Structure 1
């Protein structure tokens, strides 16, 4: 599937330059030679975020906000599923479900935010009887064979 953006409106006048902005976008969805009959309207999240406690009096305190700005990202907050009908040159139609962004937010990301700090827990054997190990059972089930030379 391919997306063709036909317009993207700028932020409203007076919007803060360092904020999470919601830009309005209109695009066509294409798949091969098939194209959506109508353009899809949605938001595109753009801009930089910073922690709210660093916004006022940042320079007065002697701190520079950029050191923490990369910890916050402007991401989609909400989206809706929308059915889009594509029309093909041969007369066939296809229906796709797409996610269209409806709002944006700033979210904090820490370094290695996807990594767990939990230690590996040894595997437990569920539903098995406790007792002898598999090797012990194999040893006991093997017939004893003496030296048969």
Structure 2
């Protein structure tokens, strides 16, 4: 049975064996048993998705050398997420990091999904399912 997170103006389902940590009033992180993670950060609605992506990209470029980047787009439950897929080497492992952002009437959300490339092949469908449940929660009428 999946667990459910509700907060930051969103809700989503996630695997019960994953660790959830609310890092502040503005972000939450999910970690897989093997160390890949998904972080969702909420910004005020005046922050554009492009600005959120640019800030995260700048932080990554300061932290890691020789990052390969390509534009990434996803459409989940009618919500367009745009951003970057980054690849870099860390401790002799190829790491994949996706930075995705979208605007909602009440906030802008930045999502970072990161893990070792072989693990990402297996966990990407699960991360997509989590993001789909998040997007569905934003599209649902305010009944709860």
Q: TM-score range by the shorter chain?
A: under 0.3
- Name the structure where helix makes up a greater proportion of residues: 2
Rg comparison, structure with higher value = 1
Higher RCO structure (Cα 8 Å, ≥6 apart): 2
So what's the TM-score if we normalise by structure 2? 0.28
Answer 1 or 2: which has greater strand percent: 2
